[in-house]
Structures are given as C-alpha cells and as structure tokens.
Chains A and B, each alone.
Chain A
Amino acid sequence: MKIKHFLATSALTAGLALSASAQANEITVVSWGGAYTKSQVEAYHKPWVEKTGNKIVSEDYNGGIAEIKAQVEAGNVTWDIVDVELSDAVRACDEGLLETIDASTLPAGADGTPAQQDFIEGTLHECAVANIVWTTIFAYDKSKIADGPKVMADFFDLEKFPGKRGLRKGAKINLEFALIADGVAAADVYDIMDTPEGIDRAFAKLDTIKDQVVWWEAGAQPPQLLADGEVAMTTAYNGRIFNAVAGEDKPFEIVWDGHIWDLDLWVIPKGTPNKELAMDFLAFSTSTEQLANQASYISYGPARKSSAPLVGKFYNKDIDMGPQMPTAPENLTNATQNNFDFWADNADQLNERFNAWLTN
C-alpha cells in the first residue's frame, strides 16, 4: 500500500518534472552512537546526502542482532543498513536475516584494484562488507596514575594499581583479557579457551577483581567512567578513548598490550524496502576515499588496503592517525583477532556461565 502509493507519486513527479533522477528518499542507518557515529556522519552520511540528494536518519544501538531479527521475522524492516560486529554478521547471515551482497558490485579501489583484492583478507562476507578494524584495549587516566600500567597483567593487579575497573558486561573479550593477564600470549588465547580448564582459569582470574568491577554496556560509557573518576582503568573501544584525548583533551592513555581486534561491517536486513538505496550507500561509504576520510575522525583502521596510504591527520589537530590504528605494527606486538567461530559456538554457554558468575 505504502509502496504502491510511493510508486504512484514518484511516477507522477517523474512525469511532471522530467528530470526525476534526484528523487529525495530516506534511509535509516544504524550504528553505535557517540564519537563513532559522528565519524560516519562526517565521512559517509554528509557526502552521500550531498551527492545523491537523499536523506539519512541516523539511529544508535548497542550491538547484537535482536532488533534485526525481530524486524525481519515480523516482516516490518525499518532499519535499512546496520553496523554490526563480525560474529553477529555471521550469525545473522546464517539465519537468513540479511540480504546477500555481491562483492563484485563494490567500486574498485582508487588505484584501480578490484574490490575483492582491495579489501583486507577476511573483511568481505557473503552478507556483509567491513568498513573498519577496531579493537578493545584498556585505558587509564594518566593525571591520576603517574607511573601507569604497561601490560594486561597490570589491569588485574589491584595491589599495584588500586581502584575500580570498567569492563564490558558479557563474557566476550573479558575471558581473553583475563587469560592474557594470567600469562597466556594473545596469539594462543583461543586455543586455551577451547578447553574447559582454560575457561575455569579465565573465570578464576576475573574473580580476583570481581568486586572492583563497574560493568559498562554502551561504547560511550568507558571514557565517561574514566572522566568521572568512577574507575581507575577501563576496557574500551580504542577509538572512543582516542577521541576523548584528541577531541576533548582528556589525559587518557591507551595500553595496547593484549588487545583483541575485530571488524565492524555493514549489513542490510532482509526485506528492507530501500534495499537499492542501502546498497548504494554501502558501496559509497566503503569506497577508498570515504574509508580514509573516516580515519581522520576516529582511530579505526580502514578495511581497504588502498585507503591506508591516504590516512592522514586528525581532522582538526596535528595528530598523525597512522600510529593510532589498531593495525599499526607497533600496536600488534601482543594482539590477536577476535575469533568469531569460537564465539559463535560458545557465546550462549559462556554468557550463561558469565551471568551465573555475575549474580552469585
């Protein structure tokens, strides 16, 4: 009914105004809010709106695929394109909740490399296209801790560094961090977690700081917790801490030891009435220039190889963005990629155990 009406009006407008190419339409773009959404608005939304004359409604969420699942199963899809984590993209794709995306339709890199070769390996998926590489690190306020923590073990060391700790509520990343703090090399962490003893060991390590933990859920919370002095250290998405430092002059310091990097990808929920527009926005926003552009607003690494040489300075300050990226070689000495297969298999069970652990 709505679509019919819309078609009728657009046909009418086309007839009247001959050049109907710039028919203004609207898509809803959903992302994680705060500094991250702002970087996307600057690098993707504004240029796209300017170029096509369409409108964008920007919505925030806290990750997960609950909303996508509900909308698709109810046949009432109102989110046209969503920024999700890799494990969620894989699960939603497996459950048939997403439109498939043909990577060959994406624009070639600025240097002419076809998209399939231009994107970093593993960043293109049957139903999703990555835009950035981000990571979870931990950070502290250096104006409050003079000789700050250097390694992951320090995060769990309440004697050396007393004070509350901020952690994301959930099993993911926390178990990895606990094992790394317990002496496991980042590269081996998922092998250890594949054994029941490894999981017990991780929970035992988390036990040591449990009563000092403040749990956060939204990405914008950790910099706020640090700024308010609610915690002495907190895990956080690296871009959020960077933006608090670069944009708001906060005295925060990132510790790169043991960080677990991951991808954010665009997905299009199955059955959206604006599929073509969403696809157009997706192709536009993941082109070489836009990805490089985004990196000047937040310290997340672009998913295209051809964007890397174009990454310059922070948009309003003289800060080189290169060394701030999770993928900068000096930041990768003890780091690993989030193992989405492990979490696809074990998230249900480990979150159950995590919840039980939390409430007891």
Chain B
Amino acid sequence: MQDSSTTTPETLVTADGVPLKQKLIQSTRRARWRALLLTLPLVIFVLVSFIFPIGQMLLRSVNNDTASSVLPNFTIAIKDWDEQGLPPEQTIKLFVLDMQEAREKREIGKTVGNLATRINYEIPGSRSLFTSSSRKLARVTEGPYTEALLEISEKWDNPVLWRSLKRATSDFTPYFYMAALDLKYDDEGNITEADELYQIYVSNFFKTLRLSATITFICLLLAFPVSYLLSTLPLKTSNLLMILVLLPFWTSLLVRTTAWIAILQTEGIINDILVFIGLVGDDGRVQMIYNQTGTIIAMVHILLPFMILPLFSVMKTIPPSYMRAASSMGAKTFTAFRRVYFPLTLPGIAAGTLLVFILAIGYYITPALVGGEDGLLISNLIAYHIQKSLNWSLGAALGSLLLVIVLVLYWLYNKIVGIEKLSFG
C-alpha cells in the first residue's frame, strides 16, 4: 500500500498517508452507519410490533403441539402404529397413563380439555369422550388398558379416532389451513372438500375481494371530481373545502359508523323522510343497513379521504396550462381530458386505489357494526375465531391467508401498474 502510494505520484493521500479514496469510503460508511443508527428505534419498533406478531401468527397457524405436550409418551409410541385396527395394548397403556398424568397436573394449555378441544375440531362430538373418559380413567390402575378404555366408552373402538389422534401428535399440521380453505380429512385421512353446508371461508374471501373492489371503485368515482375541484379552486375556497374533507377524517371511526346507523336504519332519518314525503309507505321502509349495502356505504365514506388526498396532491402538480395547450391545438374538452389530464393523474389513482383497497380488505369494525349477516368480511370471521370459538389457530390461518392475498395482489399491481409510478404527490 505504502509502496504503491509512493510509486504512483498521482494518488492523492491525506495528511496521515491514507489514500484519499479510501478515507472517503471510510467516512461515508461512518455517515451511513450513523444514519442507520438513527433509524434503529423505528427498526426495533417494527420488529417488536409488526414482524414478531406476524411471525407468531404464522407459527400458530401450523403449530400443533397440544397433543404431543398432553400425551408425550403416547406421541412417541403411536409413530410405529400401522393405522390398521386399534393401536397395540402397549401404546394404549401409554395413552391412559399420559391422560392420567395430564389430569393430575392440570397445566394451563396442556390439559385433557385442550386435547379434547383439538380433536373435536376434526371429529366433532369427541370432546366429551375425552373429558368424561379422563375422569373415569382416574380409577384405572392396571391393564389390560385397551379393555378398560373400551369399557368406558365404545367410541374408543374407532380407528378413525386413533388416526386423527396420530395426526394430531405431529409437531406441525396443515389442518388449520385446510379448514380455512373449506377442506377436511375424510375417514381414511385423505384431504377432501368439506360438506357444502359447512363451507364458509373460500366464498367469504371472494366476497371480501369483491366488496373491497366495489368500495375502491365507488371511492374513485366520488373522489375524482372532488379532488379536481379542490386542486383548481383558488386557495382560500379550496382550503375551506379541504377542511370539510379532513373533518370526518379526524372524527372517530366509531362515531362516523354509528352516525350512519342513525341515518340509514329502518326507523332512521332517510326512511323517515321517504315516508314523510310519501315515497314509501310506513310498512315499506327500505333496508339500507345491516346488509352489504350498509357496509359499502359506511366504508366508502370512511375510506374516501384516503382516495381524495393522493389524487388531490397529484392533480395539484398538473399545470392548468396543459389543458389550455391541448384545446389550443384543437382538442375537444373530453379529448383533452382523456389524452392529457387523465394520464397525468394516473400515479394518484394508483396510490389511492391501492391504499383504499388494502385498507378495505382487512376492515373489521365497520362491517361488524353495520354489515348485518351478509355484509361481513373475512376479518369478522377471524375475530369470531379469536373471540368466540377460541380456535386461535384457525383465526391465524385465515389471517395468514389474508396476508398472502394482499402480497399477491400487491405483486400483481406492481407488474401491471408499476410501483415506481405510484405517487402521493
């Protein structure tokens, strides 16, 4: 190094003899590190509040450690079972002993009740078999254990149940994703479609996509003229109008949603007016809420600012002289709009639609309040499994699928529109 710097006189060196280039790299690297250090709080925040929970969710959707932690010895023994008839006496003995120990210990998350809940997902009606057998098994002290078990209930004489138990002992399971896609295991352990009467998730995913697309489209239709007006009016008036746009934006979501309930319900303001002016009879009041219409109306209103703001900021940058130039060259107003103005607003449209669509697809509280039954979105089903049925794994699987759908759509969007074109102004 030293040699080269002395033999080639053109290389600039700093006072301490280090080549300038090297020194420069060093100092920019230090600056970059310092900049990175500044972002560290954000990075940690995102890790803790975003990446970690999502990782947890993904893990929970495939995690299957209930059976193996309740029945540790049985879990090892059942691996050798050929899935024909009943498992051998030795394996069933371990099952009985494990059940007795789990009942004794009652550790949170590792009880017979947890196991019963898990198996009951796949074989409805088996929960009480596990819990009541567990109580009766406390008295069983010696073999033959198979006989003792069958004496407690004949339902144990069922290879389907044992096959399901064996599946449940593996550490990871695709079961919850299957359930989220309306699939199930049949008696032989093959994956088949769930009974039509129990299918709910796939159709709901499609409905969520359809409703979100509708909401996004309506938002665009409504927001475009408003944004245009805002961007062309003199500053004083446009500021005033902007406040009108932003005011609802600052109001609590719950307040706005309940306001819609007051307006739209059958005994609400709009229906009262319709009845008053005689457009409909008192018994013919229009159902505008607690259905898909209600969800669409309320969500369009709530998401509208997310469309207006990017559109407005993009339109603001389009000089009015472009349209004048187009007309001076003979373009009719519509042609000028279509060929000149509209293409220039595309980055704003792209940003607005993406924003509204992604917000809509995961919306929860508004459909829960005004959606009734057919206006519910997939997030409401997720909430149901987290809050009511307590099948958190299925909730996690549904959530993960929603995440995948958003990512795929984003990728498609990037392919078609190009994310670098997107502009918030």
Asked, given contacts A95-B114, A344-B128, whether A69 binds B390 with beta carbons under 8 Å apart, the answer is yes
Asked, given contacts A66-B388, A345-B125, A353-B198, whether A94 binds B108 with beta carbons under 8 Å apart, the answer is no
List which B220-250 residues lie within 8 A (CB) of chain A. none
List which A335-350 residues lie within 8 A (CB) of chain B. 341, 344-349
List which A45-97 residues lie within 8 A (CB) of chain B. 64-66, 69, 72-73, 90-91, 93-97
Partner of B197, one of A73, A94, A353: A353
Asked, given contacts A228-B267, A359-B376, whether A345 binds B128 with beta carbons under 8 Å apart, the answer is yes
Binary flags per residue of B317-353, CB closer than 8 Å to A gives 1, else 0: 0000000000000000000000000000000000000
| A65 engages B200 (CB within 8 Å) | no
* A311 vs chain B, min Cβ distance (A): 34
Q: Which residues of A contact B128 (CB under 8 A)?
A: 341, 344-345
Asked, given contacts A355-B381, A359-B376, whether A345 binds B127 with beta carbons under 8 Å apart, the answer is yes
Q: How far is the CA of A69 from the CA of B114 in the complex (A)?
A: 11
User: Does B9 make an interface contact (CB < 8 A)?
Assistant: no
- Most interface-central of B112, B116, B124, B266 (chain A CB within 10 A): B124
User: Does B120 make an interface contact (CB < 8 A)?
Assistant: yes
| B120 engages A348 (CB within 8 Å) | yes
| A96 engages B106 (CB within 8 Å) | yes
User: Does A168 make an interface contact (CB < 8 A)?
Assistant: no
| B116 engages A73 (CB within 8 Å) | no
| A359 engages B373 (CB within 8 Å) | yes
Partner of B124, one of A72, A73, A349: A349
Binary flags per residue of B377-415, CB closer than 8 Å to A gives 1, else 0: 000010010111111000000000000000000000000
Q: Which residues of B contact A65 (CB under 8 A)?
A: 390
Partner of A356, one of B127, B198, B390: B198
Q: Which residues of B contact A72 (CB under 8 A)?
A: 108
Asked, given contacts A94-B113, A96-B111, whether A355 binds B200 with beta carbons under 8 Å apart, the answer is yes
Q: Which residues of B contact A346 (CB under 8 A)?
A: 124-125
Q: How far is the CA of A348 from the CA of B394 in the complex (A)?
A: 12
Q: Which residues of A contact B372 (CB under 8 A)?
A: 215
Q: How far is the CA of A347 from the CA of B390 in the complex (A)?
A: 11
User: Does A110 make an interface contact (CB < 8 A)?
Assistant: no
Q: How far is the CA of A274 from the CA of B351 in the complex (A)?
A: 53
Partner of B387, one of A66, A344, A347, A355: A66
Q: What residue of chain A has the Cβ atom nearest to residue B182's Cβ?
A: A356
Binary flags per residue of A230-261, CB closer than 8 Å to B gives 1, else 0: 10000000000000000000000000000000
* B209 vs chain A, min Cβ distance (A): 15
For chain B, give the interface size range. 35 or more
Q: What residue of chain B has the Cβ atom nearest to residue A95's Cβ?
A: B113
User: Does A358 make an interface contact (CB < 8 A)?
Assistant: yes
User: Does B126 make an interface contact (CB < 8 A)?
Assistant: yes
Q: Which residues of B contact A215 (CB under 8 A)?
A: 372-373
Q: How far is the CA of A341 from the CA of B153 in the complex (A)?
A: 15
| B200 engages A345 (CB within 8 Å) | no
| A348 engages B109 (CB within 8 Å) | no
Q: How far is the CA of A101 from the CA of B193 in the complex (A)?
A: 44
| B113 engages A349 (CB within 8 Å) | no
| A64 engages B388 (CB within 8 Å) | yes
| B113 engages A348 (CB within 8 Å) | no
Q: How far is the CA of A229 from the CA of B114 in the complex (A)?
A: 44
Q: Which residues of B contact A353 (CB under 8 A)?
A: 197-198
* B149 vs chain A, min Cβ distance (A): 18
* A93 vs chain B, min Cβ distance (A): 7
* B110 vs chain A, min Cβ distance (A): 8
| B197 engages A356 (CB within 8 Å) | yes
Q: How far is the CA of A215 from the CA of B373 in the complex (A)?
A: 9
User: Does B204 make an interface contact (CB < 8 A)?
Assistant: yes
* B125 vs chain A, min Cβ distance (A): 4
Known: A64-B390, A73-B108, A95-B113. 11 other contacts (CB 8 A): A66-B386, A93-B113, A94-B112, A94-B113, A95-B117, A96-B108, A96-B111, A345-B120, A348-B120, A349-B198, A359-B200
4 tightest Cβ-Cβ pairs between the two chains A and B: A94-B113, A349-B124, A95-B113, A356-B200
